[in-house]
Amino acid sequence: MASPSPRKWGTLAIACLAVSLLAVDLTVLHQAAPKLVEAMRPSAPQFLWIVDVYGFALAGLLVTMGNLGDRIGRKRLLLVGMTAFGTASALTAYAPTPESLIAARALLGAAGATIMPSTLSMIRNVFTDPRERTTAIGIWSSVSALGFALGPMVGGALLNSFWWGSVFLVNVPVAALIVIVGSVVLPESRDPGPGRIDLVSVPLSAAGVVGVVYALKTAVHDGLAEPGVWVAAAVGIVSLVLFTRRQTRLAEPLIDVRLFRHRAFSAAVGANVVCIFSMLAASLAFAQYFQLVLGWSPLMSGLAGLPGGLGAAVGGALAGPLVTVLGRARVVSLGLALTAAGFFLYGRLDVDTVYAYMVTAMIVASVGTGFTFAVTNDTILASVPKERAGAASAIAETGQEMGGALGIAVLGSVLTGAYRADLRLPVEVPAEAAAQIRESLGGALEVAAALPARLAETVAEAARQTFVDSMQTTVTTGAVLLALLAAATLPALRGVPKVISEPAPADGDRTQDGPAALR
């Protein structure tokens, strides 16, 4: 039975607040990065792990947690997860060393993995009318996108007056509010006929995700000759192959891999992966660009990115009406094309680019991402019975988190590697100082400040220009990937109806022939 209207929209409001908290937390660290590096002095690999491990833990556990929510109840999982998230945020804020910060961020990601699939699956269960569901998911996507933009702004405001850990401590009261209000407002829902969770599949999925991502990150940073690259790649690939084969043989798989035989479902997941892959890598680069290249304060840097979040929110809100006019395939392809165009514009940023140009690029790219995520998430969720909404939303979120983690790991490492390889320093720079300068732009500016005035100015200028050149290469790579995907999704989503009807209720083999809506 559908929930009464006030409770439906109350559920949407809580789901939006929860996902915005996670979105803020995913990007706020980018803003805090310069102060964090100054305070803790992590090595380059440690810094990448501090940034990456949150997304890795999320991606590795989302599938398991989505299935767990289907079995024990999405409301229960959300409330437990949000309590853990608030606790882990406090541990992260007061972490004393890079190693403890990495561990705390991993715990934060594990807690977040319980929240993300719960929000989407609850929306899927209370909004049973197809048009209302599309609207609700569009709003959810808009708020999530706005959270990505608010992260730098919130972080900047806090960092102007407080230490870097304050950007995580602010999560605690918000998490407490969600737990208190959610315990009263949220309806409980679960799969009425769940099977057991396959305990062998859980570590296989986590090992596969983390192994492959670690191999990619290490290969870009240290080169293919590093032995750990091949060990991690072998563990990851073998685990993923075994995981996939096992899912095809289980009556109750963690992921029904047969869904991926349907081009629309696969295209929707693929669009999510590539889009977030490019977005988060760009976010990390821009946080450094605004503060270290342009010399803006953290607060000003956060405000500078706000038009992008507003554009994504507008795109998500307009996606539903556009689908009724253009159809799903055209809206997703248009969204990816706009995002690619925005990234090509980003590729022309330099050390003296005017802000008006940046705003133009931000709005073009962000409206496109708003179109894309609203439609792809709705397509994924509408493709399965609502009893399995947790598992389906976990697939959507796993794609996004995996794409984000890969984007930071791969494109972030490309950015770091290009900077390190292309930086040319005067011969007067001592060898020890040169090694620190090549580690990161923040380290370069700190070391340069201790050099003689004329040499310091030369080093700082070279470091800034090399960073910008490397950033141009990175975002242009993302633009090419997005443009190719825009062309590929148009035929892949062709024929998917504008309004996807409710699939048949789940039974013993609920997706044997694939999702009814996509046939």
- Which residues are within 8 A (CB) of 461 and not within 5 positions of it... i.e. 6 or more apart? none
Determine the pLDDT at residue 86: 92
Residues 493, 371: Cα–Cα separation, whole Å: 14
Nearest-5° Cα angle at 65, 91 to 384: 145
Rg (CA), the chain: 22
Residues 467, 277: Cα–Cα separation, whole Å: 20
Determine the pLDDT at residue 506: 45
Residues 33, 51: Cα–Cα separation, whole Å: 9
Q: What is the DSSP string of 69-93?
A: HHHH-HHHHHHHHHHHHHHHHHHHH
How far is the CA of 47 from the CAs of 97, 98, 99, 107, in angstroms? 12, 8, 10, 17
Closest listed residue to residue 506, CA positions, set 193, 203, 130 = 193
Residues 247, 37: Cα–Cα separation, whole Å: 42
Which ranges in 160-226 belong to alpha helices (H)?
166-169, 171-185, 201-222
Closest listed residue to residue 368, CA positions, set 331, 327, 397 = 331
Half-sphere exposure of 153 (CA within 13 A, CB side): 14
Structure tokens at 363: 């709005």
Burial of 516 (0-12, 13-18, 19+ CB in 10 A): middle
Determine the pLDDT at residue 519: 35
Residues 339, 261: Cα–Cα separation, whole Å: 27
Phi, psi (degrees; rounded to nearest 5) at 420: -65, -40
Residues 49, 192: Cα–Cα separation, whole Å: 40
Closest listed residue to residue 220, CA positions, set 437, 103, 48, 54 = 48
Half-sphere exposure of 118 (CA within 13 A, CB side): 33
Determine the pLDDT at residue 516: 40
Query: Does residue 117 contact residue 62 with C-beta atoms inside 8 Å?
Result: yes
pTM: 0.74
Phi, psi (degrees; rounded to nearest 5) at 85: -65, -45
Query: Does residue 301 contact residue 155 with C-beta atoms inside 8 Å?
Result: no
Structure tokens at 22: 């996670």
Residue type, 451: L
Structure tokens at 228: 């750990």
Query: Does residue 221 contact residue 413 with C-beta atoms inside 8 Å?
Result: yes
> Residue 327 — left, alpha, or beta (φ > 0 → left; ψ -120 to 50 → alpha)?
left
Residue type, 380: I
Q: Return per-residue pLDDT of the chain as tens, 519 residues.
A: 445 567 788 888 898 889 888 877 776 776 677 788 888 888 777 887 787 788 778 777 877 887 787 778 888 889 999 999 999 999 998 988 888 999 999 899 889 888 877 887 788 778 877 778 778 888 887 787 777 777 777 777 788 778 888 888 888 999 999 999 988 888 887 766 666 778 888 889 888 877 887 777 677 666 677 778 889 889 989 998 999 899 888 877 877 777 777 777 778 888 888 787 777 777 777 778 888 888 887 778 778 878 887 888 888 888 888 988 888 889 999 999 999 999 999 989 888 889 999 999 999 998 998 898 888 888 887 766 666 665 666 777 777 766 766 776 677 777 877 888 888 888 788 877 787 788 778 778 888 887 888 888 888 888 888 889 888 888 888 888 889 888 888 888 887 777 666 554 444 344 333 344 333
- Backbone CA torsion sign across 388, 389, 395, 401: negative
Q: Which domains are assigned to the chain?
A: 5-197+252-499 (1.20.1250.20)
Closest listed residue to residue 122, CA positions, set 89, 79, 63, 177 = 79
3-state secondary structure of 189: coil
Q: At what angle do helices 453-492 and 412-422 cross, to 10 degrees?
A: 140
Determine the pLDDT at residue 242: 94
